[in-house]
Structure 1
């Protein structure tokens, strides 16, 4: 089992895979999408790297099926369930907590500005925001909470939640698994040996849109907060 050495390990998806494998992956995906304290967890990169290790993960946990496709599909399916359940908990929490969250003081685990950003995203994109938010770090953590706060129709939320959870989980896990297979067969490159660079690229690709939006529209978020209050 992987040993914890520094806080940097918390941002390294390979650490979680080697530390606890299948069950830790499910918990992290549930926490990142269902508990607002999970916004700092490595969701996208964890799924991609999990795809690279899919067969190893399923073999270690359940003995494996002998089929790469089946093992990868089963892993993606289980992750989808964890993501869907996480969003459902976030939605329920939003309905129960309601406007009181906007009065909550910032802590290390809770940043009110993220809540405003998620609400603005929801108001702009409607129910599709639940699906789209899956692919946006931080926003995906707060989106189900916002959907609950604004009392989004439960049936619509359930539909978008299921679609988003499946698309997010299967696309990233299958991308990790089959890109690793492609690079290995065609170029003799094992992506497991280049995980640090891959993680950096994924983080940049997924966070750059949020960074640019924050830089160029910070005043809009501030005005939005004033309107809410």
Structure 2
């Protein structure tokens, strides 16, 4: 009887541990394929910030889920996903992007190329917080020939701030009510920073378009003058 009870207890522990392991694998797997396999382009909210924050909240309330293991694994998955996308872009080039998705995806890719040209190294970090950019910036960086170690450093910073940071923020927001206000404050700062970055990018784009238009008009005028002189 005692042996049976011990066996039942071990079986219950095994099932419980399997559930925790499955939880880890689902979260890590979604984060990994979000960028490595372009899944984030179609289900951005399932593979993005909401997933990370929610997983941290679950870790605070679920028995057996270790926030350190969860955050570390999420960081590794996020880093690996971007590395895979970068290598694919570097080795397969622009044709690789052209084979993925329809008009909407191609429009997002064009937007991401401009985003990368505008922000360079920082685009890899900032992109973590922008659903469409998070998916395409790593592969665009590879296509553009960004130096490998520059991408690695940007990817590492983005991973720590986004994957690890948001997961841990969710954990503390759930386990320590006083931290919720801090979390909301950080979210507001991130939103404001995103708006400022967007305005800056819009102004740069306007200047570039105005410059290109002025150059085209000058070239057209020179051509017309040359024709008239002939």
Q: What's the CA shift for 1:171? A: 1.6
> Is the CA contact (8 Å cut-off) linking 1:26 and 1:78 kept in structure 2?
yes
Contact 1:58 1:75 in 2 (8 A): no
Query: SS of the residue aligned with 1:152?
Result: coil
Task: Give per-residue Cα distances to partners, 1:54-101, cap 9 Å, x unaligned.
Answer: 156671xxxx5xxxxxx2222111100000000010001111221214
Q: Structure 1 residue 152 and structure 2 residue 146: aligned? A: yes
Which residue number in structure 1 is paired with residue 23 of structure 2?
A: 21
Deviation, 1:35, is 1.6
Report the alpha carbon displacement of residue 186 of structure 1 after superposing the two structures with TM: 9.3
Show structure 2 runs of 5+ residues with no match.
Answer: 1-18, 210-230
Question: How far is the alpha carbon of 1:28 from its aligned partner?
Answer: 0.4
How many angstroms apart in 1 are the aligned matches of 2:26 and 2:152?
25
CA deviation after TM superposition for structure 1 residue 102, in Å: 5.3
Aligned to 2:108: 114
SS at structure 2 position matched to 1:138: helix
* 2:174 alignment partner, one of 166, 176, 180: 180
Change (3 A) 1:73 1:127: same
Aligned to 1:50: 55
Q: Is contact 1:34–1:89 with CA below 8 Å preserved after alignment?
A: yes
Runs of 4 or more off by more than 3 Å in structure 1?
A: 55-58, 101-108
Partner of 1:84: 79
Q: Is 1:170 aligned to residue 164 of structure 2?
A: yes
- 3-state SS in 2 of match to 1:106: coil
| CA separation of 1:182 and 1:121: change in aligned 2, threshold 3 A | same
CA distance in 2, matches of 1:54, 1:47: 11
Contact 2:60 2:172 in 1 (8 A): no
Q: Which structure would you say has the larger Rg? A: 2
* Aligned partners of 1:104 and 1:112 also within 8 Å: no
Query: What are the superposed Cα offsets for residues 126-158 of structure 1, whole Å, 9 maximum, x if unpaired?
Result: 111111111111110101000100010001111
Cα offset, 1:103, TM superposition:
3.8
Secondary structure of 1:151's counterpart equals coil
Contact in 1 for aligned 2:59/2:171 (Cα 8 Å)? yes
Cα distance in 2 for residues equivalent to 1:171 and 1:51: 10
After superposition, residues 58-137 of structure 1 pair within 5 angstroms as: 59=64, 71-101=66-96, 103-104=98-99, 106-107=101-102, 111-137=105-131
Deviation at 1:44? 0.4
Question: How many angstroms apart in 1 are the aligned matches of 2:61 and 2:32?
Answer: 21
Residues 57 and 174 in structure 2, CA contact (< 8 A), matched pair in contact too: yes
Alignment of 1:170-209 (within 5 A): 170-183=164-177
- Quick check: 1:38–1:141 contact (8 Å CA) kept in 2? yes
Distance across 1 between alignment mates of 2:159 and 2:148? 16
Partner Cα distance (1:186, 1:145) in 2: 36
Taking structure 1 as the reference length, the TM-score comes to: 0.64
